[in-house]
Chain A
Amino acid sequence: MRLSHVSHQFDGHLVLNDIELHVSPGECVAIVGPSGSGKSTLLYILGLLRKPDQGAFFMDERDVFELDEEELRLLRLHEVGFVFQQAHLIPYLTVLEQLELIQEKRKIDAKQLLTNLGLGHRLHQLPTTLSGGEKQRVAVARALVNSPQLILADEPTASLDYENGRRVMELLAEQAHEEGRRVVVITHDERMLDVCDRVLRVIDGTLTEVNKEERHHEDRFDAIDK
């Protein structure tokens, strides 16, 4: 999975400038950066929700932005899993039904997946009865149910306390390390970065890698900036 020379403007301002990004199977990548730096735009491009002004996005060696809207939708459904800041669960569907609604190929046993995420006792509960951490784990399960190549998480721990946030991040990292998926996480929480293999920083529309020694300092800077 590779972004090649991706540039994108918004309101005449260059949000992303000639971005190159390669994420390998089994890799968990964190993206950090100040607000407005373009990291969300980068996530939307990776999630096939926004076409960049320039550049290409290769998945399985084909440029996905040459596909039409319906093909992109199907690709999102089957190959991309999303976890958002809020769980955004459907209030009138039970935990199991949240997954069944979007599950198409039945590659994965939804009940087993939920059980693996510690939600086996909550299968038939409505979201109103769940805690914040449980809701976010359901959102993670929903992202995994179609067995996607790529999991994108946009500040998935922002609405959780440390313990629940840590659990969600570990779940996402496990998906990379144990299931061989590609995981990209946007986060401001420096305490969560150690579970990721790489940390990238977006600043002024460019992407730079943060080495392990710099992580602590850089992420503190991010937190202050936020």
Chain B
Amino acid sequence: MQLGWKEMWRQKRKFSMLFVITLLIVMLTTLITGLADGLAYDNGSALHELNATTYRLDPDSEGQLTRSFIEVTKDTSKETMSVRPLTVTIDGKKEEVTLFALPKDSNIGPVSPLRKGEVVFDPSLSENLRPGDPLIDFASNYRFTIAGESLGRYSHGPVMYTTNETWFDYLNHSEQRPYVSAEIGTESTVSDALVMSQQDLIESVPGYSAEQSTFTMMRAFLLVIGTFILTAFFYLFTLQKLPELGILKAIGLSPRVIGRALLFQVIVIVSAAVATSIGIMYIVDALIPSTLPFLVDFGHVALFGSMFIFLSVIGALLPLWKLRQVDAIEIIGGKAS
């Protein structure tokens, strides 16, 4: 390892260049990961943040909460949730928002302090709303009252949370039959309900799977292409060093010493690039406008970074193989007689 470190320390220019190239390649992957995580958050964070594990939906809903209609009697004590897209008027402009109605006396969502008619909303809906402001549903003319803010996005739009009490009042006001979108408690009134986990529900949000699959494919290709590029660089560096390494082999130095030095360099450079890239992601996250879907999920980025390090070590097997194959006599300058 000392051999690898000394080479890096004393040939800073060469290794700095390699580090910058590695950083750019790793950043492509981590920035794509930040965008993918941002879009995933934008699509399903309201569901992700709910403290519930199992959801029972209308069997005809195809797993989409907004298409799930379970007829119920008006009973706000049951653990049910309802999801409905609304159009509200703010400062004379119509805005789309998704209403999440949740049981009041539970820790499922941020609604326990709310009274009848009150809502908390994701601040991306409007910067001008203040507690006590009215919010009018365009279709029914139902008047909600702002009680505060609570983060939550669904299908790339802001979410507004309220209680089941308000939900049934809203349905009653707009002369609709009482229904809920899903049952989340232990009791079930639907015999053939579509039972879904939280993750299933998130993946059923329109566009979620297609979006995430595209990003996963991009990341996979970037990982493979990046590994090829890094392998090519380390291979070329190794070719440049073959005369010295061949002499060391002739002298009898163990190939393991040289191999360990190379592996050390690969791991240090790629790890440093991953760490720097994560740092840059936090800076990017702080600088870009909040309207851009970008999120730093450290665990997720670290996972892709670790995959990069692992694949680079696998890629380093090629220059290691070249080192093993080197004929010391050819390096010394003699014929292979």
Contacts and interface: CB of A to CB of B under 8 A. Distances in A.
A44 B328 CA distance: 10
Interface string A60-96: 0000000000000111111010101100111111000
Nearest to A74: B252
A77 B252 contact: yes
Interface residues of B, number: 23
A224 interface: no
A32 B334 CA distance: 16
Contacts of A85: 333
B10 interface: yes
B244 interface: yes
Contact of B252 (A40, A92, A93, A102): A102
Contacts of B115: none
Main secondary structure on chain B at its contact with chain A?
helix
B331 to A, nearest CB: 8
A11 B329 CA distance: 16
Interface residues of A, number: 33
Nearest to B9: A92
Contacts of A8: 337
Contacts of B333: 84-85
A88 B247 contact: yes
A201 to B, nearest CB: 19
B206 interface: no
A41 interface: yes
Contacts of B9: 92
B335 interface: yes
Contacts of A41: 334-335, 337
A76 B10 contact: no
A109 to B, nearest CB: 19
With most chain A CB atoms within 10 A of its CB, the pick from B248, B250, B257, B335 is: B250
* Interface of A: prevailing SS: mixed
A15 interface: yes
Contacts of B335: 10, 40-41
Interface string B303-336: 0000000000000000000000000110011110
Nearest to A73: B252
Contact of B329 (A50, A77, A97): A50
Contacts, number: 66
Contacts of B7: 92
Interface in A7-45: 8, 10-11, 15, 38, 40-41, 44
B251 A92 contact: no
Given A76-B252, A92-B10, A84 B337 contact: no
A80 B252 contact: yes
A10 B329 CA distance: 14
Given A44-B334, A97-B6, A84 B247 contact: yes
A49 B11 contact: no
Contacts of B248: 90, 101-102
B243 interface: yes
Nearest to B335: A10
B40 to A, nearest CB: 45
A182 interface: no
* Residue among B244, B248, B251, B257 with most chain A CB within 10 A: B251
A77 B337 contact: no
Contacts of B332: 84, 154
B328 A10 contact: no
Contacts of B334: 40-41, 44
Contacts of B280: none
B218 interface: no
Contacts of A101: 3, 248, 253, 257
A102 B337 contact: no
Interface in B219-274: 243-244, 247-248, 250-254, 257
A126 interface: yes
A10 B253 contact: no
Nearest to B244: A90
Given A73-B254, A88-B247, 7 more contacts: A41-B335, A49-B250, A92-B7, A92-B10, A92-B11, A101-B3, A102-B248
Q: Across the A-B interface, give the 8 residue pairs with the lowest CB-CB distance, nearest first.
A: A77-B252, A10-B337, A76-B252, A88-B247, A92-B10, A92-B7, A40-B334, A73-B252
Interface of B: 3, 6-7, 9-11, 243-244, 247-248, 250-254, 257, 328-329, 332-335, 337
24 contacts: A10-B335, A11-B337, A41-B337, A44-B329, A49-B329, A50-B329, A50-B337, A73-B252, A76-B250, A78-B252, A80-B252, A84-B247, A84-B332, A85-B333, A91-B11, A92-B6, A92-B7, A92-B9, A92-B11, A101-B253, A101-B257, A102-B252, A142-B251, A154-B332
